[in-house]
Amino acid sequence: MTQQAISLKNFPEKISVQDIAGQKIKIHFYGPKSYDNQLALITHYLHNKNFISDFSRKQAIKYLKEYIQYKFPKLEITPNILKDPLQAGIFEDFFHIPFPDPQKPLFTFIDLFAGMGGFRLAMQKQGGKCIFSSEWNSFAQKTYFANFGEMPFGDITKEETKQYIPQSFDILCAGFPCQPFSIAGVSKKNSLGRETGFKDKTQGTLFFDVADIISRHRPKAFYLENVKNLMSHDKGNTFKVIISVLEELEYSVHYQVMDGKAFVPQHRERIMIVGFDKRRFNGCEKFTFPKLGEPTKRIKDILDNYPDYKYTLSDKLWNYLQSYAEKHKAKGNGFGFGIADLNGISRTLSARYYKDGSEILIPQGEGINPRRLTPRECARLMGYPDEYIINKVSDLQAYRQCGNSVVVPLITSVSEQLVTAILK
């Protein structure tokens, strides 16, 4: 994949979602400093003019002004042009997207560790407007941009990125990765009778950055999602630290392990953590997790009619998986491939699915090797609608993104309860 640098000297009159999603593009403006977050800044400004901080607005207007001055030297740069560059036919493709913001939003939210945008789909369905997004993976950024017309900012652990978060928003969403917590320092301080704050407990973990942003901005509520094993990690100490930190920040915390199989034909258990600001709700919010029913969809409901032959396992790979499974079976281990029951549900889709597809293989009849799911089928398995764009990256990256994603209808169901609570 080539990288194209766009400066004011070769900046095209139009930048399309397709152009940027299809290749790795960095925009470099002339000036004393170049920012990795420039495209994110411009797209956030265009979509969220009334919500971004004064600092972000000034930065974005500066870059837009430089571009217009160079590309359209005869054009009078009025405040209206800088406020709405679409008047000059600039950046209009950023709004030709499958999932635009609601025209009359009921609340605002930010999307951290955004991945391919599952949280955003869920919150937009409840009438929410995303006013900040962050995702460090460049391939996931492309998928996100193709669907929402907004390039996520980069590494949220950096202060350079955090400075662009709007001061006020209603809900923080984050499917944050789980990192090991060291509680040795906390235990030592406790033995000495010293107070410990959340920075001492979580410094060096990605959860610290989530807690830091909650502490600085005090949203009305937050919605966090993680793997089920978060609760048992380090004999439960990691989860205790997380809950204690959130409660220390004066939020009432609700959590529950929920299985996406109620919505999609996949066994996928995740811990949902929802919190409400005690300073606003006094711990009296009316929130309950939705009750989930039994699976209603089957694997065959999400399959393509005519999948490409390239997804069929080669003889070499199929023979390897079978011999590998036999070897571990002889040792009494449970390792091996999984042939999906077309009338049932699948195992959990993982980010490693691109390697061999072994956890979910689709049978194709006698004498024919099984096949992997296609990227589109994986997206359906996570609850993404077919109009969701996933082909702006390679199959490998699409598999990774789906395996790391949330189950969209499950997140949507919990979001409905959360939003109802804060609006009441």
State yes or no: is 402 an active-site residue. Answer: no
Of 232, 172, 235, give the one whose Cα is nearest residue 207. 172
Exposure string for 134-158, b = 16+ CB within 10 A, e = fewer:
bbbbebbbbbbbbbbbbbbbbebbe
> In sequence order, what are the residues at sequence separation of 6 or more whose Cβ sits closer than 8 angstroms to the Cβ of residue 383?
118, 260, 263, 264, 407, 408, 409, 410
Of 388, 376, 302, 386, give the one whose Cα is nearest residue 345. 302
> In sequence order, what are the residues at sequence separation of 6 or more whose Cβ sits closer than 8 angstroms to the Cβ of residue 238?
178, 180, 181, 230
CA distances from 224 to 112, 229, 245 (A): 10, 14, 14
Name the catalytic one among 178, 284, 378, 402. Answer: 178
Give me the amino acid identity at 161.
T
For the chain, the helix, strand and coil percentages under 3-state DSSP, each to the nearest 5: 45, 15, 45
> In sequence order, what are the residues at sequence separation of 6 or more whose Cβ sits closer than 8 angstroms to the Cβ of residue 48?
129, 131, 132, 166
Catalytic residues: 178
